[in-house]
Structure 1
């Protein structure tokens, strides 16, 4: 594997851009390829086998593009498919799962909220992690049904989004949570809207920075860190309308190239 080969990233749509943003911030010399599988979003409503099949499809496309490491920038895909991917392919995989541990360790009110997809909240990995760290803590889990389609449709700041978030978050506020864990890579784009509802007293946690740091650590461990300081190349592909993807990426990187790709 050549160190200048790109980092591959995939998600069930545009949500993983929140992870990709952290990757290019923490690893400025790295080249990247991002796949937004928006055609099949959200993964959270699908069966475990369907999720694995979609992850295999994405992985094989990224391997054809010579990616040296693959970041599964999707909570649902990680919790349902990453063990299979690691057992099947030689390339290193970095996963993403809800940051339950820091919330559980730092809560003062002994109540935390978790907003995630059905596929994440019902997975074995989520349950084992939650059980390990949340003994004696009230955990309010909410399936963010409807959030991903609104984000994919560029309706982040819409009235519909505001109403849906209020419906999901008010039960958590009633239980006096002081930490809110975002268990889907799409959800960090909603942080400004969430803060308007929950106020500044509730700490919102997502996994983007932790994923970027872990990716760097694994690249170093495998001698795959790109030390070349020439301008990095970033290629982002979507198999659906690229309007929302373009809108999000233009505020992060001016040099990134975005295109439709049928995969």
Structure 2
């Protein structure tokens, strides 16, 4: 098996994709990584499909210029709207991220699953089709208006954010959901706030661990693993606020400003 030291490339509409980066780095600590946070254009969820495809191609091409051996679309909205176009355009493994409705649908006891996601994800054809696979499950969908903007601004523990979350999730709880799917890579950062008011019996699911396992599988199948067991480097780039990105990577690397 060859030792492929080229980096994994990840991009998101902002800092949310760092939740995916953390999961991948935990599973694959020897891999080199490059992360792009396109915060200046966040949130993608309020943009047209055409805009999302254009931005996703821009990010992908920048990562390819950095010699990325695989692209991880660390953004639910970009995945549901642009991943097919990316796969048709670029001859490189491309991993997408979708709301983890399958495990929720398979394990629900009440038959009701809450999904909190962006407008771009919930209104996409890909997501709509995914729900039809589980006709006996009622999906209670809620667009997380304003959440991404607050996280991008670093207002993670603000009263405004907590108030928004309560207004979105209380009706779901009242309808007896037993699983809540976080359908945006920004949203796992909400867990400390959610634990303050969600019932302890309600299971919260996100895609990060599944994406990390999928990345390992694709790298192995394509003989792309870095096998030297030397710690990998991690580069993080944003086109907006370096300080906010730095606060979300917990000393795992140095965030830098890049115009893209």
Q: TM-score, normalised by structure 2?
A: 0.98
1:114 equivalent in structure 2: 115
2:3 and 2:227 in contact (8 A); partners too: no
1:257 equivalent in structure 2: 254
1:246 and 1:258 in contact (8 A); partners too: yes
Please state how far the C-alpha of 1:195 moved relative to its aligned partner.
Answer: 1.7
1:93 equivalent in structure 2: 94
- Unaligned 5+ segments in structure 2 are none
CA distance in 1 between partners of 2:219 and 2:96 (Å) = 14
1:188 and 1:206 in contact (8 A); partners too: yes
Please state how far the C-alpha of 1:222 moved relative to its aligned partner.
Answer: 0.5
2:4 equivalent in structure 1: 3
Q: TM-score, normalised by structure 1?
A: 0.97
The 5 A counterparts of 1:88-167 are 88-133=89-134, 135-167=135-167
Q: Please state if 1:184 is matched with 2:184.
A: yes
Q: Please state if 1:40 is matched with 2:41.
A: yes
CA distance in 2 between partners of 1:27 and 1:154 (Å) = 28
2:246 equivalent in structure 1: 246
1:206-258 Cα deviation digits (max 9, x unpaired): 0000000000000001000000122211000000011111111125x2xx121
- Unaligned 5+ segments in structure 1 are none
How many positions carry a matched residue from both structures?
259
1:2 and 1:68 in contact (8 A); partners too: no
CA distance in 1 between partners of 2:71 and 2:63 (Å) = 8
2:246 and 2:254 in contact (8 A); partners too: no
The 5 A counterparts of 1:179-218 are 179-218=179-218
Partner-residue secondary structure (3-state), 1:132: coil
1:98-149 Cα deviation digits (max 9, x unpaired): 011110110011111000000000101101111112x122211000000000
CA distance in 2 between partners of 1:231 and 1:157 (Å) = 33
CA distance in 2 between partners of 1:197 and 1:145 (Å) = 19
